[in-house]
Amino acid sequence: MLTQVFTFTGAGDQLVLPRPIGTRTLLIIENDLAAPNSIRVNFDKIADANTGLRIVAGGNAFFDAVVPQNNIHVFAPVAGNIILTWINAAPTS
């Protein structure tokens, strides 16, 4: 299991997690921004303030049964941190 803090220096999009080589089996995205700042998460597309999965300040998105295998983009409206935790299984031959 890997956990990484991503720091946003201002408003904008970041590719926070690229498509896995194997299979991603767990993904947790936590919004550590101060209220009322929601983040937006988009899969295989640049995230912006109006599209994608909305995660409120202090909230999270937890994927364990159906886990996105896409590139993960996050848009933050202000400077601050988000936290990602994930597990990638090794590719099968």
pTM of this structure: 0.94
- Tell me, yes or no, whether 25 lies in a domain: yes
Q: What is the pLDDT of residue 72?
A: 98
DSSP run (H or E) holding 31: strand 23-31
- Tell me, yes or no, whether 5 lies in a domain: no
- Tell me, yes or no, whether 60 lies in a domain: yes
The parent domain of residue 30 ranges over 11-89
- Total domains present in the chain: 1
- Tell me, yes or no, whether 41 lies in a domain: yes
- CB-based contacts of 23: which residues, under 8 Å, 6+ apart? 67, 69, 88, 89, 91
- Tell me, yes or no, whether 1 lies in a domain: no
- Tell me, yes or no, whether 17 lies in a domain: yes
Handedness of CA 89, 4, 39, 17 (dihedral sign): negative
- Tell me, yes or no, whether 68 lies in a domain: yes
Reported as a single tens digit per residue, the pLDDT across 20-71 is 999 999 999 999 999 999 999 999 999 999 999 999 999 999 999 999 999 9
- Tell me, yes or no, whether 6 lies in a domain: no
Q: What is the pLDDT of residue 91?
A: 83
